[in-house]
Structure 1
Amino acid sequence: MVLNFAHRGSLTEAPENTLPAIKKAVEHNAKAIELDVQLTKDNQLVVIHDHTFSRFNKEAGGLIKDYTLSEIKKIDVGSSFSQNYKGVTLATLEEILEVVPKETLLNIEIKNIPVIYQGIEEILVESLDQHNRLDNIIISSFDHVALEKFQNIVPAIPLGLLFYYRILKPWEYAKNCGLDISSVHPHVSYTDKEFIEEFHKLGCKVYPYTVNKENDYNHLIELGVDGVFSNNPRIFKK
């Protein structure tokens, strides 16, 4: 079965990673949704890709980690997308978990580079456990150390290995890194037949990011990918 992820929710229709974007993806019956988590100054999980507010609110300086949750909830991130979303703020992971159906696969990326959030793995596990959401989850990260820490806490939850740069024989790295990987998430630019076939030999699904053109999507499906991360509702609804 091909599995396509709504990347940061439906980010072409609402501010990325916010509750409205996640709800839009749910309304489209997306089979899977991807989002990013970071920690606030008071160790609350908030959903955002960037480590700063600069793309969403020019007046808010500093890093996400410099703000408490109550401070973050006063920062408008919706107006930069559209005045229709004026006043929309970052969502907490808890808020997201309350609106995403349990039958929808949720890919949670630990956004741990370049800022390293000490203890985020334990906090994430606790949050998922409290919301009875330890099933139908993938935990991914470019920080493979964070994945190792997460695996040590909850070995049963599938891990997704994120790659940005091209590296030599990444399948050999994945095989020998000590992680029990269920899927790999490579940049679309170098996802080719060899990459896909070698990871399939290891029993790993291959989900490249970010695939927005349907021609590219169809080509990747022909090559054998198991799904993609996409900003295009036409793709992630398939």
Structure 2
Amino acid sequence: MILNFAHRGSLTEAPENTLPSFQKAIEHRASAIELDVQLTKDGHMVVVHDQKLARFNKQYPGFIKDYTLAEIKQIDIGSSFSSEFRGVTLSTFEEVLAICPPDLIINIEIKNIPVIYEGIERKLVDCLKEHNRLDNVIISSFDHLALKKVQQLVPNMPLGLLLYYRILKPWEYAKHCGLQLASVHPHVAYTDKEFIDEFHHLGLKVLPYTVNDKAKYQKLIELGVDGVFSNNPQIFAGV
């Protein structure tokens, strides 16, 4: 089974990482979605990629961590996408979970660089337990120490190793890093047959990001990837 993730929801059709974006991905019958979590000033998990608000609303400087949830909920981020979404705000992680069917696979990326959110791993795990959503979940991060903390809290939680830079023999790093990984998530630019084969030898799925071109997608499938993260509804819906 090829597993294609709607990257930040259906971000070409609605503001990324918002409830409308995830609702549209679900309407497309996506089998999996990807989202990002960060913490507000008062410790609430919100779903957002950037650690600053400037790309969505230039009236609000600073980082996500500088605002309380109540303040976040007053900030219009939808208008930067289109007038149709005027008034749409960032969602809490709990709000997103509430609209996700139980069989929908959710890749949760912990955004922990450059801001380090102390305790976000426990908050995330506790929230998943409270909502009975430990199944059909992958937790990923470029912060591999965050993955280690998740593993200590839930030893059997599927973990995704996010990689951005090209490094020498990344499969050796994955083998010896002490993480019980389920998958590796590399940048699409260097995802080649050697990379795929070496990680498959370790028993890990290879899920590159971000694959939007259908020709590139087909080539990666031929090379043996197990799925992709995509902004293209035709790809993440398996069309």
What TM-score, normalized by structure 2, do the two folds share?
A: 0.99
Rounded Cα–Cα distance in structure 2 between residues aligned with 1:156 and 1:135: 10
* Structure 1 consecutive aligned stretches of length 4 or more whose deviation exceeds 6 Å: none
Structure 2 runs not aligned, ≥5 long: none
Counterparts of 1:55 and 1:61, CA distance in 2? 10
Q: Look up the equivalent residue of 1:143 and give its one-letter code.
A: D
Equivalent position amino acid for 1:30 in 2: A
**Deviation for aligned residue 1:156:** 1.2
Unaligned runs of 5+ in 1: none
TM-aligned CA deviation for residue 157 of structure 1 = 1.0
2:41 matched residue in structure 1: 41
Q: Distance in 2 between matches of 1:209 and 1:89?
A: 26
Instruction: Determine if the alignment matches structure 1 residue 20 to structure 2 residue 20.
Output: yes
In 2, distance between residues paired with 1:155 and 1:102? 21
Aligned to 1:148: 148
Q: Tell me if 1:79 matches 2:79.
A: yes
Give the deviation of 1:100 after TM superposition. Answer: 0.7
Amino acid at match of 1:56: F
CA distance in 2, matches of 1:162, 1:73: 30
Map 1:205-224; keep pairs closer than 5 Å. Answer: 205-224=205-224
- Following the alignment from structure 1 to structure 2, what is the Cα–Cα distance between the partners of residues 26 and 156? 27
- Give me the identity figure in percent: 70
Across the aligned residues of Structure 1 and Structure 2, the Cα RMSD in angstroms comes to 0.4
Amino acid of the structure 2 residue aligned with 1:209? Y
Specify the SS of the correspondent of 2:46. strand
Inter-partner Cα distance in structure 2 for 1:102 and 1:215 = 32
1:165-219 per-position Cα deviation (integer Å, ceiling 9, x unaligned): 0000000000000000000000000000000000000000000000000000000
Equivalences, count: 238
Give the TM-score of the pair, scaled to structure 1. 1.00
Residue type matched to 1:137 in 2? V
Name the residue aligned to 1:124.
124
User: Cα deviation per residue 1:80-108 (whole Å; 9 max; x = unaligned)?
Assistant: 00000000000000000000111010000
